[in-house]
């Protein structure tokens, strides 16, 4: 049962007067989310239930959408800071994506400081992709060395978006940014490829938790940014079950679409069928009825 718990944390005072988000509030949201997720009473306890003290943690963000529609730096950086204050070493924390340019375009200041939290892309000097292909089911890809070598544990700190081909992009599809050839896996609504990339050893053996940035959700015409169909949902979604996290994310998108008078993704023939495939593969639960969703608002 615990594996299929999904926690949604919102905050009443999240947005500042300038339209930014308050990092102190974000940190509270992480703390509460992990507490509800793990059942641990304090922050360090929650983290130690998921990570070892010496873990090198790759925090995979999604920055393909530029500043308007990426995992926000004011979410990822407070998260990494919170980890470093609660038993994990700052030098072992990597915020990363495909390219350093995309990270910069999304508003991240890149850093390779040896003692601090690092921010860089797979294309950074000395990084790159493995030269050995991982051939897994229908997938044949080179994985980022950040995923395979640098990180001993992996967090998908994704963004919640409608996706014209996949239906929904969230925590699982975020790992498309860990392979060299994601463009080859968008046929058939990305099915079964999203599930199979996640199931490949470099991801499956290291993934610890899905966190979905749903502060602003692109609920139509994604994955590109369109202000008209972007809503301030104001939530962070947490789960140890990657399929359940994305399934709940999908339901959020459907709620927003319905509120805007848009048809359901299924009616547009593009529901995220890879979630059912992932469930069949034993990666998690894709049926809302079998997912315990806990929603809370922090002060």
- Least distance in angstroms from the C-beta of 180 to other proteins: 6
- Interacting residue ranges for other proteins, rule: CB under 8 A: 64-66, 99, 123-129, 131, 133, 135, 140, 142, 164, 180-181, 183-184, 186-187, 221-226
Q: What are the distances in angstroms from CA 102 to CA 66, 96, 185, 212?
A: 7, 10, 20, 19
Quote the least distance from Cβ 75 to other proteins, whole Å.
20
Shortest Å, Cβ 123 to other proteins: 6
Distances (CA, A) of 207 to 22, 116, 172, 211, 241: 28, 22, 10, 11, 10
Nearer to other proteins, 111 or 181 (CB): 181
Identify whether the C-beta of residue 30 lies closer than 8 Å to the C-beta of residue 88: no
CB of 257 to other proteins, least distance (A): 16
Which residue, 28 or 145, has its beta carbon nearer to other proteins?
A: 145
**Using CA atoms, how far apart are residues 264 and 270, in angstroms rounded to an integer?**
9
User: Which residues, including other chains, have CB under 8 Å from residue 148's CB and lie 6 or more apart?
Assistant: 130, 202
Give the nearer residue to other proteins in terms of CB position, either 10 or 226. Answer: 226
What distances in angstroms separate CA 199 from CA 7, 156, 173, 242, one per listed residue? 23, 14, 11, 11
Do residues 247 and 258 make contact, with C-beta atoms less than 8 angstroms apart? Answer: no
Contact 202, 147 (CB under 8 A): yes
Closer of 51 and 120 to other proteins (Cβ): 120
Provide the minimum distance between the beta carbon of 232 and other proteins in the complex, in angstroms, as a whole number: 20
Rounded to whole angstroms, what are the CA distances from 250 to 165, 192, 217?
A: 14, 17, 11
Tokens of 125: 């000097």
Report the nearest approach of other proteins to the CB of residue 195 (Å).
17
Check if the beta carbon of residue 74 is closer than 8 Å to that of residue 97. no
Cα diameter, the chain: 51
Residue (135 or 205) nearer to other proteins, CB: 135
Question: Do the strands 57-61 and 153-163 form a parallel or antiparallel pair, or are they unpaired?
Answer: parallel
**Least distance (Å) from other proteins to the CB of residue 266?**
19
- Closest to other proteins by CB, 10 vs 221, is 221
**Distance in angstroms (rounded) separating the CA atoms of residues 207 and 243:** 12
Pick the closer one to other proteins by CB: 142 or 217: 142
Distance of closest approach, residue 260 Cβ to other proteins, in angstroms: 15
Q: Which is nearer to other proteins, 125 or 289 (CB)?
A: 125
């Amino acid at each position: 049962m615990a594996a299929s718990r999904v926690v949604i944390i919102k905050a009443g005072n999240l947005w500042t007067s300038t339209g930014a988000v308050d990092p102190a509030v974000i940190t509270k949201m992480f703390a509460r989310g992990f507490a509800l997720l793990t059942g641990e009473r304090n922050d360090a306890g929650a983290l130690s239930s998921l990570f070892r003290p010496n873990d090198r943690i790759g925090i995979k963000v999604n920055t393909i959408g530029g500043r308007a529609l990426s995992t926000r730096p004011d979410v990822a950086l407070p998260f990494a800071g919170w980890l470093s204050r609660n038993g994990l070493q700052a030098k072992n924390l990597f915020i990363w994506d495909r390219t350093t340019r995309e990270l910069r375009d999304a508003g991240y200041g890149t850093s390779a400081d040896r003692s601090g939290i690092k921010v860089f892309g797979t294309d950074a000097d000395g990084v790159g992709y493995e030269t050995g292909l991982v051939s897994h089911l229908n997938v044949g890809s080179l994985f980022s060395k950040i995923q395979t070598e640098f990180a001993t544990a992996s967090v998908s700190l994704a963004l919640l978006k409608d996706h014209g081909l996949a239906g929904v992009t969230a925590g699982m599809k975020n790992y498309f940014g860990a392979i060299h050839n994601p463009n080859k896996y968008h046929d058939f609504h990305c099915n079964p490829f999203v599930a199979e990339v996640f199931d490949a050893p470099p991801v499956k053996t290291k993934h610890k938790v899905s966190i979905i940035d749903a502060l602003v959700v692109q609920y139509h015409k994604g994955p590109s940014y369109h202000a008209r169909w972007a809503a301030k949902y104001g939530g962070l979604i947490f789960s140890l079950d990657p399929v359940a996290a994305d399934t709940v994310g999908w339901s959020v998108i459907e709620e927003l679409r319905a509120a805007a008078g848009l048809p359901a993704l299924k009616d547009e023939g593009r529901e995220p069928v890879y979630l059912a495939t992932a469930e069949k593969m034993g990666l998690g639960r894709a049926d809302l009825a079998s997912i315990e969703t806990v929603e809370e608002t922090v002060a």
